[in-house]
Structure 1
Amino acid sequence: MDLVVAIYPYPLVLASIINNGWNLGYVHCQISAFLMGLSVVSSIFNITGIAVNRYCYICHSLQYDKLYSNRNSLCNVLLIWMLTLVAIMPNLQTRTLQYDPRIYSCTFTQSVSSVYTISLVVFHFFLPMVIVTFCYLRIWILVLQVRRRVKPDSKPKLKPQDFRNFVTMFVVFVLFAICWAPLNFIGLIVASDPDTMAPRIPEWLFVASYYMAYFNSCLNAIIYGLLNQNFRQEYKRIIVSLCTAKMFFGDNSNDAADKIKCRPAPLKANNNLIKRMNQESK
């Protein structure tokens, strides 16, 4: 979803900044805002699903294969996207997707429907955060117990790879919560009394919280690159491939062609070798 948002809504936002306003029509406004909302809601539900998965894998390892069979895993993915659509579809009826000149983009307007805004913040942000916090607290408790145990076989072992994966996803969750919390708190404040509270929110605070929230998508790639060995290897492979391609195209330049021209022809070189051998034999 981050790639979809980067390809479609973000260029429209850039065009809006250049033109100092939205002149791309109502349809593009609705589609771009809907895709951005879909990306946000799916991100938090995916983080929640990953946290539950890590909790079951580490704290209930004996039942993990049964809980996350191929069929159950597919059902979990479908459930995440079904909940995402259920959370985002009311935007089309409440008309909360509008252009906001403060951020030069079409987005969810918090002051249009108080009930929907409060429901979205509670069920889309606070409830998932509670579930994820519970899962990671249970995992941390188990990690501390495993590290402090006296008998090595008294409790299940925690593999280093499993611990690194857990730390990676935990950092992703913490950064997500930090980046998205200000915008959600502003939404609750505005939804409590839109007519009174909306004008009291400073414009700079709303803009900062909005861009801070969407900057979180950039942080994920950095975290994966720093904490995940597989991502680091892929980054290195891509960089090496780019450098190799540059060297390859560089060798096909005029300098490389001149080097080829300076090389003696195979037939001429062979004739010189034969003449030298004949002279030595005489």
Structure 2
Amino acid sequence: MEPGRNCTMANFTSVNCTAGNVTTAPPLPSLPLIFATAFPESVPQVVYLLTVLVLCLLGNTAVIGTVWLDERLHEPPNFLLSGLCAADILYDLLIVPVMLNVLFTRHYTFGQTACDIMAFFHILCTFFSMMMTGAISFERYHFICHPMQYHNKFTGRRIWGLLSVCLSGATLTACCMLPFLRSDPPFFYPAPMYCVSHAILSGVVGWIFFMAAGSLATYSQVRIYLEARRHLRAIQAGNISGHSAEDFRKKIKSAVTTTAVVAIWWLSEFPLITVETILGAAPHVTSVGWQVTHRVSRFAYFISTCSNPIVFAFRNRQFRHAFKKLLRPQAVHSFN
């Protein structure tokens, strides 16, 4: 096949196929069953991506708007949650439309600039989400295990500082990694349907961020579990009762919610980063099984972008009441 020929799904398996100064990765076999990009196999994928995008936009926007408008929700965990919501919205808005474009048109039409933008924000949003997940878990750990020190450590200024540090770190990492991810022309990968180079550096740095955030989140959850078990035993023995017991039960509820968020994050992030690291270290691996695994892991990651903040927020009774109040016509005025 001569260079310059359009990259339709029929010839995506050619390494010489180009479209808008974008070439494919090494030859890949056609994906089977519902993972194929041709109609009608693409219909379930389109429905899934549209559902994820709508849920992400509506759910995360509702969380941010409610926290912003209700002063009673101006608390450290809600500010951290809003940062995570913003990253999820930006990620889905940039990545999902490109994947939908490929499924609808059956070819990739974007050039070098679009690939650079996708690579930059892919790294920025992913790494920022990792750090926010770790920060939320660490904040809940102090809230439950060290209540006497909590209000001194997690002030409003420090929370904004933490958000700034996480955002600056993710931005700096994305800027530093972008030159190593670029190729001329850039590669388009049919399996995950995005245009980002699988440089081994990306996998290594991704694992560093993932293990740092994952270790912090897991450590926090283990300590919360041990503290909860100790208090529950004291409650059962009658050593803690009344208001103290009820207050701790509320804390346990928030801890269970955080645990669910971390579990969803692990289950959605770990498969993707593992598959991409393996394929980055061994780009010659092009079997059907690996390509299907890559597509599935990419789709699974979107679950965390639309479920984590929603699960975290809507298990909070105060948040639910504030959100219902926001839906009323006089809601905005009542917050002033």
Match of 2:282 in 1: 194
Q: Would the alpha carbon gap of residues 18 and 161 (structure 1) be closer, same or farther in structure 2, given more than 3 Å must change? A: same
Number of residue pairs aligned between Structure 1 and Structure 2: 233
The corresponding residue for 1:129 is 214
Are 1:25 and 2:111 matched, yes or no? yes
The yes-or-no answer on 1:37 pairing with 2:123 is yes
Match among 150, 157, 163 for residue 77 of structure 1: 163
Question: C-alpha displacement at 1:66, in angstroms?
Answer: 1.8
CA distance in 1, matches of 2:195, 2:326: 35
Q: Look up the equivalent residue of 1:22 and give its one-letter code.
A: Y
1:211 aligns with 2:299: yes
One-letter amino acid matched to 2:222: L
Matched residues in 2 for 1:218 and 1:28: separation?
Answer: 24
CA-atom RMSD, angstroms? 2.6
The residue type paired with residue 129 of structure 1 is G
TM superposition shift of 1:18: 1.8
Residue 223 of structure 2 aligns with which residue? Answer: 138
Counterpart AA for 2:118:
S
Aligned to 2:19: none
Unaligned runs of 5+ in 2: 1-86, 330-336
Task: Give unmatched runs, 5+ long, in structure 1.
Answer: 242-282
The structural deviation recorded for 1:187 is 3.0
Q: Aligned pair 1:89/2:175, yes or no?
A: yes
Q: TM-score when scaled to structure 1?
A: 0.72
Per-residue CA distance 1:172-220 (angstroms, 9 max, x = gap): 11011011111122233334x4245x33562111100111112221222
Q: State the alpha-carbon separation in 1 of the partners of residues 106 and 100 from structure 2.
A: 10
Report the CA distance between 1:51 and its aligned residue: 0.9
Report sequence identity in percent: 18
Bigger Rg, structure 1 or 2: 1
Change (3 A) 1:209 1:50: same
SS in 1 for 2:188: strand
Report the CA distance shift for 1:58/1:98 in structure 2 as closer, same or farther (over 3 A). Answer: farther
Provide the rounded CA distance (Å) in 1 between the counterparts of 2:278 and 2:260. 28
CA 28–189 in structure 1, closer or farther in 2 if over 3 Å, else same: closer
Call closer, same or farther: CA 1:14–1:94 in 2, change over 3 Å: same
Q: Give TM-score scaled by structure 2 length.
A: 0.61
Cα 1:11–1:184 shift into 2, 3 Å: closer
Q: Against the structure 1 CA distance between its residues 12 and 116, is the aligned structure 2 distance closer, same or farther, given a 3 Å change threshold? A: closer
Question: Superposition pairs for residues 1-20 of structure 1, below 5 Å?
Answer: 1-20=87-106
Is the partner of 2:195 in helix, strand or coil? strand
